[in-house]
Amino acid sequence: MANIKIDASDSLVVLVCESCAGTWRACAWSRDEAHDRAVAHEQRCHPGENDAYRKRWAHLNTPKVGRPRRSATRR
């Protein structure tokens, strides 16, 4: 199991693969980019694992928390 940690701040996202004993690290500007990098690393260095891939799709399918969108008919 590839264990990739994602640490996000307001301006930068840092990734560390604990399965590689912390030797693989990366930075990204957004969570989406970070998840893409995690999936690419997992495919290159941990073939057969799909944890980052599953988390990527779970992240995309999670509803955003916050203010509800206004409907087009409401003004």
Secondary structure class of 6 (helix, strand, coil): strand
pLDDT band at 14 (very low <50, low <70, confident <90, very high): very high
Q: Look at residue 73 and tell me if it is in a domain.
A: no
Secondary structure class of 65 (helix, strand, coil): coil
Let me know: does 54 contact 5? Beta carbons within 8 Å: no
Report the pLDDT value the prediction gives residue 28, as an integer from 0 to 100.
93
Q: Which of 29, 38, 30 is nearest to 56 (CA)?
A: 38
Query: What's the structural domain count of the chain?
Result: 1
Domain that holds residue 51: 4-55
Q: Look at residue 24 and tell me if it is in a domain.
A: yes
Q: Look at residue 25 and tell me if it is in a domain.
A: yes
pLDDT tens for 35-70 read 889 888 888 888 887 777 677 666 555 555 555 555
List the beta bridge partners of residue 15: 6, 26
Q: Look at residue 36 and tell me if it is in a domain.
A: yes
Q: Look at residue 72 and tell me if it is in a domain.
A: no
Q: Look at residue 69 and tell me if it is in a domain.
A: no
Kindly give the pairing relationship between strand 4-8 and strand 13-17: antiparallel
Q: Look at residue 35 and tell me if it is in a domain.
A: yes
